[in-house]
Amino acid sequence: MTDVLIIGAGVVGGLLARELSLYELSVALVEKEDDVAMGATRANSAIVHAGFDAKEGSLKALLNVKGSEMMEQTAKELGVPYKRNGSIVVGFSEEDRAHLEELLARGVKNGVKGLAILDREELLKVEPGIGDTVTCALYAPTGAIVCPYDLAISAIGCAMDNGAELYVDFPVERIEAIDGGYRVYSGERVLEARTVINCAGVYADKIAAMVGDESFTVFARRGEYMLLDKECGGVCRTTVFRTPTKMGKGILVSPTVDGNLLLGPTAENIDDKGDTKTTPAGLASVARSANEQVKGIPGGKSITSFAGLRAVGSTGDFIINSPRAGFYNVAGIESPGLSASPAIATYVADMLRRDGVTLTPKAGATRVRESMHAFRHMTVEQKNEVIRRDPSYAKIVCRCEGVTEGEILAAIRTNPRPRDLDGVKRRTRAQMGRCQGGFCSPTVVELLAREMGVPFEAVTKSGGGSYINVGRTKGADAQ
Ligand SMILES: Cc1cc2nc3c(=O)[nH]c(=O)nc-3n(C[C@H](O)[C@H](O)[C@H](O)COP(=O)(O)OP(=O)(O)OC[C@H]3O[C@@H](n4cnc5c(N)ncnc54)[C@H](O)[C@@H]3O)c2cc1C
């Protein structure tokens, strides 16, 4: 019987798995998709919020501020890009200014440092690109950006290095209470665990209901985005929000840690918890709002669009509780869930400790993981040394992002292993540039097929039936 089984391999389940893998515990992480970081963690704004939004006294506020303080160190340990670029919430009217004053007061109560209201003149020094009709802003110098899926992938890899086991393609369908724990079913596959932790994102209410806990529901609120070419990454330095509404923090304009420009998200409550399509109306509203906040956004430089689903819980706060012995909910983790994720991990570990789970530090376990992006940041001399040892690092596969064959092979061979094109993309950035894989995806398919020992027709874009090739058109085995 496993000591702890975590359901859901997003950033929350992933960082929790890493935290628990530091102790003398057997840890299993199960995920319904064919890869990790496939839920909200894959598609969000990537902002480490300073912590002025959440209502004072709430778990969201507590864990946001703590998580934001922990994030830089966490990202460093896991070799994940992080940048403290600061954030601003812009206002266009006296009414907005009053709202910003409220956010400032709330932020001060939450313990956020360095907050200030800026007039237009002061604001221009912080963010020269702000829109012509912006009159004031709340400035949060501790706001930051990070790569969310990198964080989850690296945390899960770290947990696996420490001995945790990952089961993908494991949609939990039933949970049965047994003597001393739970039996967790996915089709024919069954795992037993003393403790089960529900980190299943938008489906967390369904998992809780499997043990008879119907005390909350979770619904999906879709957010659509546009991602602009790296050429546009310098349009603004800070993350530029507008004054929030009851539907959320509104549309933002932000550089990403990789140098692109991100616009979005919309906020639309939807019934289908799997519906991540983008819509012309949604993207048009993103462009409209973004252009009011920041000047000179070259809309024609959009290279892709995508949508993510916020897991909005019925209580209005994060739902972190234990409705029955040995079963824990970590549910309703909508924004600022990414920012809070390192703090959620330690908070839940403390809950387990309080409930009698023995947490003895494991000899040799580590919080640290080598960066997957090290090659990109090396000096020419260092790169030459790597290429001398492994010539596959001399072959550029993705021209847009400058990703080498050596990096792709290393990603395919490293836990948690990618099994499709999008998995390689999230780990290496190959196919993430201007041409969106038009040039490099055939080579990535060949590398995946070779490494996995499958025919190239069997490689998918993103698991399931997302096949991309039906047969060869050239070469000896062409049909
Ligand atoms: C549009 C949008 C913008 C956001 N912006 C920000 C931001 O800027 N800053 C911030 O701090 N937060 C932000 N968030 C919130 C943040 O993305 C989430 O809080 C965070 O990613 C939640 O992580 P998670 O691991 O709980 O959930 P997820 O990443 O959704 O992971 C849950 C996992 O559980 C799996 N799962 C579900 N059901 C089952 C099952 N039956 N069996 C097995 N596995 C299952 C899913 O496949 C999924 O992989 C945003 C969210 C969205 C959608």
Domains of the chain: 1-82+145-217+314-370 (3.50.50.60), 87-141+219-309 (3.30.9.10), 375-458 (1.10.10.1100)
Q: Cβ(251) to ligand 1 under 6 A?
A: no
Q: Cβ(310) to ligand 1 under 6 A?
A: yes
What secondary structure letter does DSSP report for 143?
A: -
pLDDT at 220 over 80: yes
Whether the bond into 265 is cis, omega within 30 of 0: yes
Q: pTM here?
A: 0.96
Mean pLDDT of the chain: 95
Q: Using CA atoms, how far apart are residues 385 and 196, in angstroms rounded to an integer?
A: 46
**Confidence label for 146 from pLDDT (cuts 50, 70 and 90):** very high
Ligand 1 centroid to residue 113 C-alpha, Å: 27
pLDDT at 474 over 80: no
Give the tens place of pLDDT for each residue, 258-287.
999 999 999 999 999 999 999 999 999 999
Nearest Cα to 233, choosing from 375, 337, 83?
83
Q: Using CA atoms, how far apart are residues 415 and 11, in angstroms rounded to an integer?
A: 15
Ligand 1 centroid to residue 203 C-alpha, Å: 10
CA angle, corner 298, sides to 295 and 299, nearest 5?
Answer: 110
pLDDT on residue 247: 66
Q: Which amino acid is at 399?
A: R
Ligand 1 centroid to residue 313 C-alpha, Å: 12
pLDDT on residue 60: 97
Give the tens place of pLDDT for each residue, 403-431.
999 999 999 999 999 999 999 999 999 99
Q: What residue's CA is closest to ligand 1, atom 14?
A: 335
pLDDT at 475 over 80: no
CB distance 104 to 113 below 8 Å: no
Q: Cβ(60) to ligand 1 under 6 A?
A: no
**Nearest atom in ligand 1 to 46's CA:** 8
Q: Using CA atoms, how far apart are residues 175 and 5, in angstroms rounded to an integer?
A: 12
Ligand 1 centroid to residue 16 C-alpha, Å: 14
As a whole-number percent, the residues of the chain with pLDDT over 90 amount to 93
Q: Cβ(118) to ligand 1 under 6 A?
A: no
Catalytic residue positions, numbered: 49
233 vs 145, residue with greater confidence: 145
Give the tens place of pLDDT for each residue, 313-324.
999 999 999 999
pLDDT on residue 212: 98
Q: Cβ(444) to ligand 1 under 6 A?
A: no
Give the tens place of pLDDT for each residue, 115-140.
999 999 999 999 999 999 999 999 99
**Confidence label for 372 from pLDDT (cuts 50, 70 and 90):** confident
CB distance 117 to 137 below 8 Å: yes
pLDDT on residue 349: 98
Q: What residue's CA is closest to ligand 1, atom 19?
A: 337
